[in-house]
Amino acid sequence: MSFLFNKSSKTFKSKKNVSEAGESHNFDLVKHASTTLGSGNLKLAVMLPEGEDINEWVAVNTVDFFNQINMLYGTLTEFCTEQSCPVMSAGPKYEYHWADGQVIKKPIKCSAPRYIDYLMNWVQSQIESDSIFPSAIGVPFSKNFLNIAKNILKRLFRVYAHIYYEHFHQVIQLQEEAHLNTSFKHFIYFVQEFDLVEKKELAPLQDLIDKLTGKEKA
């Protein structure tokens, strides 16, 4: 199943949409995140709720970021084409090649829409795997869950980076700038709070990150 978007289906809903899964605990975590986000305090929104398991908190938020990025990118697919974006890049200094370690073991150079298609399918397969993202309450997470989540979030960052570098003028035309900035700021606060993405991976948008998080130079 391809997750490339079209005009009739601009968003992709994960089968494991935690807010609709009927699992009260996961729903409570989502509700907590939504409430704190509504307060406007993103630093507070990303903090681990008292008494909660770090793996569950990371899992809930990873699925949420995946859905957010799907929706954001879904509004831009008519602009992100094989012709307009022949390589997956974040400006002239950063180019990304795809490999999943299973089907595609050796990194391949591909267009941005193809890369993002591979990426979204790969993330979806991780999220739908009960051995990685357990759907039943009380089922333990694997010992390497955080490493898997780090890899997912590192790659989701690349979609943000591509959007900012290659499609930001279209984001402005669509009046989605505030939505994109808020989503990305939330993402950055979250991955920084739990050290989930290495600083070198964030380098393409470091100036923007500093500005959004109030660390810009005087």
Q: Is residue 156 part of a domain?
A: yes
pLDDT digits (tens, 9 = 90+) for 98-110: 998 888 999 999 9
Residue 80 among known ligand-binding residues: yes
Residue 77 belongs to a domain: yes
Q: Annotated binding residue at 186?
A: no
Domains: count for the chain = 1
Determine the structural domain holding residue 141 and report its residue range.
53-212
The percentage of residues in the chain with a pLDDT greater than 90, rounded to a whole number, is 67
Residue 200, in any domain of the structure: yes
Residue 69's alpha-carbon distances to 75, 77, 105, 137, in angstroms, are: 10, 12, 25, 26
Give a yes or no: residue 122 inside a domain: yes
5 located within any domain: no
Residue 85 is assigned to a ligand binding site: yes
> What's the mean pLDDT when you consider all of the chain?
83
Please indicate, yes or no, if residue 3 is contained in any of the structural domains: no
pTM of the model: 0.81
Q: What is the CATH number of the domain that holds 105?
A: 1.20.140.30
In a domain, 14, yes or no: no
Is 44 domain-assigned? no
Give yes or no for residue 4 having a pLDDT over 70.
no
Mean pLDDT of 59-75: 95
Name the more confident of 14 and 116: 116
Give the mean pLDDT of 167-196. Answer: 94
- Where does 130-197 have alpha helices with state H? 145-166, 168-173, 177-193
pLDDT in tens, 121-165: 999 999 999 999 998 877 899 999 999 999 999 999 999 999 999
